[in-house]
Structure 1
Amino acid sequence: MALAQAQALVPNLHVADATPDEDEASLRELARWAIGYSPVVAPDPPDGLWIDIAGVAHLFGSEENLLEDLTDRLTGRGIAVRAAVADAPGAAWAVARFGAGGIVPADRTADMVAPLPVRALRLSADKLGTLHRLGIERVGQLAAMPRAPMVRRFGRDVALRLDQALGHAFEPISPLIPHETPMASCVFAEPIGRSDDLKTILLRLSQDLCRQLERRGEGARRLDLIIQRIDQKGANLRVGTAKPTRDARHLAKLFDERMQTIDPGFGIEEVVLVASKVEPLREMQTEARVIAGDSTSEADMGRLVDRLGARIGTGKVYRLAPVQSLIPERMVRKIPPLAPPTGSAWPQTLPRPTRLLDPPEPVVVTALLPDHPPALFVWRKVRHRVAKADGPERIVPEWWNGDAGSVPRDYYRIETEQGGRFWIFRDAPADQGGNWWMHGLFS
């Protein structure tokens, strides 16, 4: 549409000069930001990003969690976003722009791409014009045509784009690696495939990378291993550290737990190790207790945290810190395992259970009188007869934290005849009825 026509339709239309160079720079900056999600990120001008989440989705719990976190953060920055996850880049591109977005199951790629317009195939304008003139409007119509006549009539590029959208043709993504990012790489004259060879190369790359970090006065907090096979397929592994480090052997060992997941195929031709997140690291004098082999040193604790994080996920390694609150589920919070002390003391309250149920689970309670402690209760279809009961301990809502509409809780510490110890509460005073809930278990 011409500018004059647009202004005629919208009298108060705001017009700004196009700045393609600035748009491209902004897209590259957004791609740099997205490296926090995956080591393989590439701009897709003019308004898209490729993000290969293979090997990193587990760090967020699932592909759904990663996608939700990504879109929420972009929306929070004022960026309108549509996103999709699929086995094939072409399918993700099509569903994100012309479909409903979200997760495309591997066995439903063709079903979800077929109803989309042929524009979803990333074809040139002249190819789209030809298809439209022939009445081919949907991907499914094109896919239903015999292969050989389709190639003769529309060209191999149309067939390739169709195959890429359906996941029948491999489409590599060339990752964006900022020039200032510390990295080390190795290209092999002959492809390798043995796990021991890969570990040897990884140690060599770690040593090279740590020398770069030493010159910069930095330590690695996150490493990405990018593996390229001779068939152009790749694999990505990501590990993190609790504290910045330049210990090459330790960094290489962090990949050991997940090295077995790599399929070398017909051979690996290139390996790239990238320090995608670094922090300043100054030289420190080694303490005498470290020289003496004290395994409880801070450095050893950091290595332990890193190995646990590489094995079970960094988000699952944490410690608890106290929070000034009377509400049981608010009294602690998760912090990084090596975070400095918060300065808050653990509250001196009545005994609390070692395991808290979140959310509390309903129980059926029988008491001698409405305001008496439980004499018998049923929890998870198991009947428990009470031997001792201590309470009630009343915990009132914190109106300053938005609990104005909540009701007080009356807690009882219960010991059963079988020796089990439980923490049960009623969510209203005895004269108001209320329901009973299991909130915790004592060790």
Structure 2
Amino acid sequence: MHRVVSLFLPRWPTDRLRRKSGDASPPPEAPLVLVGRSGRRRLITAIDANAQARGVRVGMAVTKAQALVPGLIVIDADPAADAEGLDKLALWVLQRISPVVMVDPPDGLVIDTTGADHLHGGEAAMLAALVRRFASSGVEARAAIADSWGAAHAAARFLKGEVLVIPQGQSEAMLRPLPLAALRLEGETIGGLRTLGFERIGDILDQPRAPMTLRFGPELGRRLDQALGVLAEPVDPVRSPELVEVRRVFGEPIGAAETIARYTGRLVEALCLELEKRGLGARRLDLLFYRVDNALQFIRVGTAQPVRDQKRLTRLLCDKIETVDPGFGIEGMVLVAIEAEPLGQRQTITSLVQAPEPDVSDLIDVLANRIGENRLCRFVPVQSDVPERSVARVPPLAPASGATWDGDWPRPSRLLPRPEPIETMALLPDHPPVWFTWRGVRRRVQRADGPERIRGEWWKRDAEMTTVRDYFRVEDETGERYWLFRSGDGEHENSGSQRWFLHGIFG
């Protein structure tokens, strides 16, 4: 099913200005407006949240707004810079979310995420992460996903909420209560419809199409069909001249998987030649398929390090050909290296004494493209006495930092994501438990070693100044070994809850 995201930036001109100005930007609490000219009049074209809260509106005369809000900061609008900034945002989203991204001027982006959401944890998680990233950069954003561009556009701008996921097949039900402006109609058409008593999209959905078309022209019906997904509205992906790109147009449409794989190999060969000329290696590739019905399919693969190996890149792309729906045929293919890094010539050094270091980057690339690169990682030591803080996740091929774990105390091979409470009985406060119950199973302790006392990191939080954990290594009657701890020292109440927890399992 086709899925499209509409990213709405309601205050893009003012947010862009504040972000670009840096330290010289107006104070965050100061009301800010941007103005332009309409004939001889100076009108407000954009406002920030502070100005809106004080009653300023887009289209208001500047003199009226200044009289209404003392201390109002007025700056000339720069539509060209706003448009250029949107293009840069589109390229940024292109590299991180989906290869099909288009600018939706003057304040948004359109993203075709069909088949790409699972790489980001699902649709809701993908949109939430995107909105958070913009918010951290000082740009207010709202995102909606639906079955069509028109439905997503309407939801992002006329429904409440920063993240909106319209379930598949529910676009019509969502559109019915929305105002006519959600259809992206001309102002004259909206005025004519209101004159006839139509206020909501649902009011015109139930009307005969022929009389409406005769009076208002074909645009009304076209916008309705686009919003409902009946009429395709292709998303033309943005491109940068700096990207390395090769393309192939076919005289006759192709559709067989073997044919697609053959031409994929030829495109990879041409791309690698171009990358070699520039001294680059691909880190992320997009293979786009243009169908005869104007629909767009795509494959995205990534690599853990710069790669210019034709066989390797071809295999990664061909592994995903089965996800492509050729429809009635593919009339063109485009291969783009959306991320590339410098890659020089490498000399292979052989030794009769030492075996060459194994190269696992090919395996990592295969796994990352199947399950998602964010699910593949490597654990490295971190200097911390608190067990759950003593490891960190890094990319699989991240260079070794040289850090090690200090101390002679053994650590379990499996550390639980968080300590789990258990029921126990100990003869004395500083003794190990005689038995414990974990996940409904009671285990009798045969051997134990400890305690190992670990104190909180008082320099991070005041609450950890008196925190204490006493850890024990215990073995049950079946030979299984566990890592238990008591929260607190057994004497002082402020040192912990005095409850027992299971934190790890020894291999």
Other structure's SS at 1:203 match: helix
Alpha-carbon distance in structure 2 between the residues aligned to 1:349 and 1:414:
17
1:75 equivalenced with 2:129 (yes/no)? no
Partner residue of 2:117?
57
2:410 to 347, 351, 355: 351
TM-superposition CA deviations, 1:180-229 (whole Å, max 9, x none) = 20011111111111111111111111111111111111111111111121
Aligned pairs for 1:97-116 (under 5 A) are 97-100=157-160, 101-116=163-178
When residues 269 and 289 of structure 1 are mapped into structure 2, their CA distance, relative to the original with a 3 A threshold, is farther
Partner of 1:233: 295
2:203 to 124, 141, 150: 141
1:25 is aligned to 84
Counterpart of 1:322, as a letter, is: P
Matched-pair contact (CA < 8 Å) for 2:147–2:169: no
Residue 258 (str. 1) matches residue 258 (str. 2): no
- Tell me whether 1:84 sits opposite 2:154 in the alignment: no
| 2:195 aligned with 1:125 | no
How many Å separate the matches in 1 of 2:185 and 2:473? 69
Give the Å deviation of 1:151. Answer: 2.9
Instruction: Report the CA distance between 1:11 and its aligned residue.
Output: 4.1
Counterpart in the other structure of 1:434: 498
Per the alignment, residue 377 of structure 1 pairs with 436
Structure 2 residue 305 is the aligned partner of structure 1 residue 305? no
Per the alignment, residue 390 of structure 2 pairs with 331
Give the TM-score, by structure 2 length. 0.82
Q: CA 1:403 to 1:187, structure 2 compared with 1: closer, same or farther past 3 Å?
A: farther
The answer to whether the 8 Å contact 1:255/1:310 transfers is: no
Code of the aligned partner of 2:75: A
CA distance in 2, matches of 1:289, 1:58: 44
CA contact (8 A) 1:86 1:92 kept: yes
1:289 Cα offset (Å): 5.8
**Deviations for 1:352-372, whole angstroms, at most 9, x for unmatched residues?**
111111122221112334443
Q: Is the 8 A contact 2:119 2:371 kept in 1?
A: no
Equivalent of residue 43 in structure 1, options 95, 100, 103: 103
> In structure 1, what is the equivalent of residue 50 of structure 2?
none
SS in 2 for 1:400: coil
Structure 1: distance between partners of 2:453 and 2:405: 20
Deviates more, 1:7-16 or 1:240-249: 7-16
Q: How many residues align?
A: 439
Preserved CA contact (<8 Å) 1:226 1:237: yes
In the alignment, the residues of structure 2 paired with residue 403 and residue 324 of structure 1 have an alpha-carbon distance, to the nearest angstrom, of 20
- 1 CA distance for matches of 2:462 and 2:360? 40
Say if 1:289 and 1:205 are closer, same or farther in 2 by CA, change over 3 A. Answer: farther
Residues in 1 aligned to 2:357 and 2:265: alpha-carbon distance in whole angstroms:
25
1:182 to 218, 222, 244: 244
Work out whether residues 55 and 238 of structure 1, in 8 Å CA contact, stay in contact via their aligned partners in 2: no
Structure 1 stretches (4+) deviating beyond 6 angstroms? none
Residue equivalent to 1:7: 66
CA drift at 1:327 = 0.7
Give the partner amino acid of 2:333: V
Judged with a 3 Å threshold, the aligned counterparts in structure 2 of structure 1 residues 159 and 403 are, in CA distance, closer, same or farther, namely farther
Which residue type is aligned with residue 502 of structure 2? M
Computed over aligned residues only, the root mean square deviation of the Cα atoms, in angstroms, reads 2.0
Rounded to whole Å, the distance in 1 between the matches of 2:318 and 2:462 is 48
Per-residue deviation at 1:15? 2.5
Partner deviation per Cα, 1:367-407 (whole Å, 9 max, x = no partner): 33444311121111112111112222111100122263472
Cα 1:116–1:289 shift into 2, 3 Å: farther
Judge which range, 16-25 or 83-92, deviates more.
Answer: 16-25
**Aligned partners of 1:123 and 1:161 also within 8 Å:** yes
The answer for unaligned runs of 5 or more in structure 1 is none
Where 1:35 maps in the other structure, the secondary structure is: helix
Aligned match for 2:156, one of 81, 96, 101: 96
TM-score normalised according to structure 1 size: 0.94
- Residue number in structure 1 paired with 2:9: none
Q: Deviations over 1:289-319 (max 9, x none)?
A: 69x9x7744xx32222212212222122222
**SS in structure 2 opposite 1:401?**
coil
- Residue 16 of structure 1 corresponds to 75
More displaced 10-residue stretch of structure 1: 352-361 or 151-160:
151-160
Matches within 5 A, 1:283-302: 283-288=345-350, 296-297=357-358, 300-302=359-361
Q: Is the CA contact (8 Å cut-off) linking 1:398 and 1:404 kept in structure 2?
A: no
User: Residue 254 of structure 1: CA displacement?
Assistant: 0.9
Superposition deviation, residue 14 in structure 1:
2.6
The answer to whether the Cα contact below 8 Å between 2:272 and 2:308 also exists between their aligned partners in 1 is yes
Secondary structure in 2 matching 1:29: helix
Moved more, 230-239 or 173-182: 230-239
Which residue of structure 2 lines up, in the alignment, with residue 165 of structure 1? 227
Q: SS state of the match for residue 197, structure 2? A: coil
What is the CA distance between 1:415 and its match in structure 2?
A: 0.8
Secondary structure in structure 2 of the residue aligned to 1:430: coil
- Percent identity between the two aligned chains: 48
2:214 is matched with which residue? 152
Question: Equivalent residue for 1:273?
Answer: 335
**Greater shift after overlay, 173-182 or 415-424?**
415-424
Secondary structure of the residue that 2:73 maps to in structure 1? coil
Measure the CA separation in 2 of the matches of 1:309 and 1:38: 16
1:322 and 1:347 in contact (8 A); partners too: no
